[in-house]
Amino acid sequence: MSSVTEMSVDTPVVDTAQGKVRGHRANGVSVFKGLRYGASTGGDNRFRPPQPVEPWAGVQDAFEYGHQSPQMRSMLADKGPMSEDCLRLNIWTPNTDNAGRPVMLWFHGGGFEAGSGSQKVYDGTRLALRGDVVVVGLNHRLNVFGHCFLGERLGPEYAAAGNVGYLDLIAAMRWVRDNIAAFGCAPDNVTLFGQSGGGRKVSLCYAGHDAEGLFNRGIVQSGSHLRIQSPEHAASLTDALLKILDIAPNQVERLLDVSVDALSAAQIKVMRETRSRFSPVLDGLAFTDHPFLPEAPAQSNHLPMMVGTTRTELSNQLGYQEGVFDMDEAEMKRRLAKFIPAEDVEDAVSVFRTGNPGASPTEVYFTVTSARGYVLDQTIMAEQRVRANAAPTFVYQLTWRSPAEDGRKISQHTLDLPFMFDNVAYATHLTGPESEETQAMAQAMAESWISFARTGDPNNAAIPQWPAYDLTERPTMLFEVPPRLAHDPHAAEREFMARYETQQMGRTLHR
C-alpha cells in the first residue's frame, strides 16, 4: 500500500509500492509526471506483456513527462522523446490527502498507432480543480510495438504480442488500484474516458477479461469499437512486415533486434501498402470474442457508460481533401459514392438535407460521412447495451457549431476535448477565441463528465434532465448553447444508416 511520507508546499512526496516519488504544486494542484507503471519494453521485453517496475531506493523526481511510444512524428504526438521505455503515467490531484476522490483515467487518441498522453489539451489541472477529482493520463505501446501478432511463431512468451498495447492499459489500471489512494483518491471509484482511439480503448476494456474489476464506468468519445482484427488478417500484416524487413518466416526472432527506427519505418510501409493498421487482435487470450458484435459483452453489463460523437466528425479528417470546401452538388455526390453505395447517394442527400435545411454541399458531405463512419457505430454500441439490459447508457452528441476557421468545420472530431477538459485556452484552433459560448460549453460538458465520474450518472445543474438511452424514446443530450435533451434527434438519418453494417467489418478504421 502506498502512502504520503512527507510533504512540502511545493514538492509533495508520495510513497508508492515501488518507491518514493516527488511531484510539484502548480496552479492549485499536485502534479506527478512520468511515473513508471511498467518496465521498459525494449530489449528482451519487446512484444512481451508489460513487466513490473523494479523498486528503487531514495526519492525519484516526477517533474517531466515520460517518453511516448515510437511512432511517426505528427500532430497526434508531442514534441518530446520517443522510446520503448514508454509505460509512464501522469497524475493531477487537488491534494495528496485521504479525501477519497474519484479517479478519471484518460486514454489518449490517435487510433492504436499514434498519440501521446502529454498533449496540452489533456492537462488535467482545471478538470481536477473543477470537480475535486484526480486525473490520470498515460502513454503505452502503439502500432507494431503494441500489436504485432506473432501467434505461435516465437513461443508462449510472445503469444500475447498482438495485444500488448492493450495489456499496457491493464497494467496502468492495476498500478492505479494499488497506488492511487496515496494521491487523494478512492481506488474503487475509477472512470475510464477516452476520445477517438482512446474511446476505442475504453470500448475494449468493457470486453477484455483482464480489465474486469479494475474500473467502475467508462466514457466512449467518438470511438465506439465493435470488432477487432481476425488472427488471419493480423498474421498477414506480420508477414508484410517481415517481407519489408527482409526477414525470412523461419527467422522471426530477428524482429527482436531490429532498431526502433527501422521497425517504425517498416510498420508505416505496411500501413500504406495494405491500407490497414496494427491493432488489437481476436487472439483467444486477451479477447475471446469481438467487443460489441454480435452482442454486448456480458461481463460489463453492470457498468454504466456514456457514449457519443460530434455532429460532423469527419470534417476534421476530410477537411484536408483538396477542394472539399468548394464542392458543388455534383462533386459532393461523386465523393459520397466512396463512402456509401452509389445507388444510395441520392436518397442519402435527400434525407440529410431535409434534416439540415440550407446546408451547403460540403456540410452535407461531412454529415453523411460522419454518420456512416462514427454515429452508426455509436448507435450500434448503445443499442447493443440496451438489448442486453445493461446498466444505464447515456448518449450524447456535440452539435455546437464552432466559429474557428470561419465555421467551415462545424462540429469536428476532437472538438469535445477542450470542453470536457475545461482547456479552451489550449485549443482555440478548434473552438475559436474564448467567449461566453465556449465557457458555457465547458461548463456543460466538464460538469457532466465529472458527475458521471462521481456517481455513474451525468446529470447536473448545467444541463437539462438526461435519461438513460432506450430503443423507444432514444433520449440524447445535445451539447450546444444551451444544451438540450432531444428524443431520437436526426431519426431519419439514423434509420437511413441502419441499412449498413459497421465499417469495422472490414480492414480500415478511421481514427
Name the residues annotated as catalytic.
196
Integer CA distances (angstroms), 56 to 4, 87, 90, 397, in order: 16, 17, 19, 46
Torsions phi, psi of 392, nearest 5?
Answer: -50, 140
Look up cell 515520460; give the residue: 66
* One-letter identity of residue 404: A
Are 352 and 367 a contacting pair, CB within 8 Å?
A: yes
Going 149 to 154 to 156 to 157, the CA torsion angle's sign is negative
The residues, ordered by sequence, that sit 6+ positions from 328 with a Cβ below 8 Å of its Cβ are: 361
> Are the beta carbons of 53 and 21 closer than 8 angstroms?
no
How far apart CA 155 and CA 446 sit, in angstroms, is 47
**Alpha-carbon distances of 115 from 48, 141, 142, 498, rounded to whole Å:** 21, 10, 8, 32
Cis peptide before 483 (omega within 30 of 0): no
Closest CA to 279 of 508, 72, 74: 508
> Distance (Å, rounded) from C-alpha 189 to C-alpha 215?
7
Is the bond into 294 cis (omega within 30 degrees of 0)? yes
Q: Which helix (H) or strand (E) holds 508?
A: none
In angstroms, how far is the first alpha carbon of the chain from the final one?
Answer: 38
Q: How far apart are CA 487 and CA 473, in angstroms?
A: 5
User: What cell numbers appear for 330 in the block?
Assistant: 455534383
Q: Beta strands 20-22 and 59-61: pairing type? A: parallel
**Which of helix, strand or coil describes residue 155?**
coil
Determine contact, residues 241/270, Cβ cutoff 8 Å: yes
Contact call for residues 367 and 332 (beta carbons, < 8 A):
no
Cell digits for 241?
A: 512486415
